[in-house]
Structure 1
Amino acid sequence: MSKNTIYETEFNFPGQKNVYKGKVRSVYTLENDMLVMVATDRLSAFDVVMPKGIPYKGQILNQIATQMMASTADVVPNWLTATPDPNVAVGVACEPFKIEMVIRGYLSGHAAREYKKGNRMLCGVTMPEAMKENDKFPSPIITPATKAEMGDHDEDISKADILSKGIVSAEDYALLEKYTYALFQRGTEIAADRGLILVDTKYEFGKTKEGKIVLIDEIHTPDSSRYFYSDGYQERQDANEPQKQLSKEFVRQWLIANDFQGLEGQTVPEMTDEFIETVSERYIELYEHITGEPFLKADTTYIHDRINRNVLSYLESL
């Protein structure tokens, strides 16, 4: 396996106005309301960026996200216009909403951890009694989170607080809800076709300068979503066994087992080359399951040069 990863980005594209570096992506805003989003190989968990990159992770995230954008464009408009490089998406610059629309079809992950503490209310939404971890909710629930800056924690927030604090207008929020349910329904159908269950996911939205709300960032990737294998799901639930899943949750569980949950005073455990290779292989597995296609590893020998060359070539073609 190639060990070359893209962890930091220092590009300077023509017409570049500013750069925003998120936990995983670097976003370059150019003139003419154009946005160049570079998916790095950084890995974040518990809102902490891990010290080493994961080979091919950025390519995997970018290619799943762009394919899913294409597969949902008929139900929700999105920001994407081109993918000039395996790690790059280009689209329309938007003003992002300061919340993430998290939607959950099953009691898993953060929701399950809260449930185990005895909490039955999550982001103002009541969760039914007598549920087991990984049980399906009667209907999907939306549990929004505030959008954190790099190094900060996303925080749960209720719809009522979002509206009362004026973070999003009531009119806009109604459309965000509608879009979130529609995307989750389509994502669920796509996953089912691949023998997977879309357990939960998050969507981010922005507003164009014309005032149109569009889907931005990534969609239905292993960083933003949790998947179970549908085959054997019910049997595992009935036997109180853990679900076989494809998501970043295995990284979180590894960190928890090594006494790290992103809390003050905790140190990120050492990520060995063997562990990093395991993570990379799990991401490739997810890619192949969710897309139904074999993963073709891009040449990462000179990954920064490759990205720069491909983006410049695209910009010159406009």
Structure 2
Amino acid sequence: MEEETLKQYMNEYYRGFTGFELEHLEDFAKCLKEYKEFNLADYEIAHLDNDILFPPGDIKIGVRDARTTSKSNISKKILMDIAVFTMKMGGENIKRILEKILLEKSRNDATTKDATGENTTEKEIDRELITIFVKEHMLLFYKDFDHFEKQHIDDFVTAIKNKERVNLVNYETEHLDEDLLIRRGRTPQGVRDKEKKMGVDVIKDNLMDIAAFTIKKSAAITTKILISLGYDHFENLQTKDAAVEELRKTKDKLNSLIAKHKEDKEKIDDLEKEKKIAEERIRSLENEVIKLKESEKKKITRENTISR
């Protein structure tokens, strides 16, 4: 996949988080400050589409640390809640992108078929096939978050307890590859609340930092998936091009045979005409011979009559 195309898809991914801090952060921060459990399932139902793999409130593939409960460490649980919510929102974004890619591919395939004179059927852009394709890649997306809570949440919990922030630039440098679009420590345009001053509310700052880190990690995973799809697409194109070239050669050969057949048929038709003309000439000559014989016979008869 070309870098510019990849950047377009990643821009689309990041745009899905526009307004994130303004719309969601206060809901998580309120529970954290009041030390109350956050109902993530209800929150997802209210703010997200149905996930095609996992039920509201969780990602059941080892993302959470099973030892963490609201009783054991509610702060840690709420931090993980916002991380899971961010993952699910990222999943929603990548689902839309994958559907778009597959629809474009299906339509391109249909256009190629139409160009060769074949009929395109609705089955070739079947929504069920798209869903299967998306599910496979969404599972890869979520599986890359395995052990997320064990690996990252404690760092942000500690920062909250110490009333300080995690240094996102250093943290991303340590844990993430460099982003194609966004510098380390920065979030996509429109995701953070520009009017909020950093340092005034350390809980909100850290909640947004873990969300920002999750968004960037989601982007890194999405990039890998899109690059993989790009290679697959390139290989498919090469295979398709080879098949099209083979079909073109076969078609040219067939056209050549048809042309030769037409030429041979014209020659045969000409020979048939010549044969017919020759047969008519033969019949004409035969008639002339018959007439000559008749004439000769009559002549002999007359001569015999005179001699008597």
TM-score range, shorter chain: under 0.3
Greater C-alpha Rg: 2
Q: Report which of the two has the higher share of helix.
A: 2
TM-score by length of 2: 0.23
TM-score by length of 1: 0.23
Q: Report which of the two has the higher share of strand.
A: 1
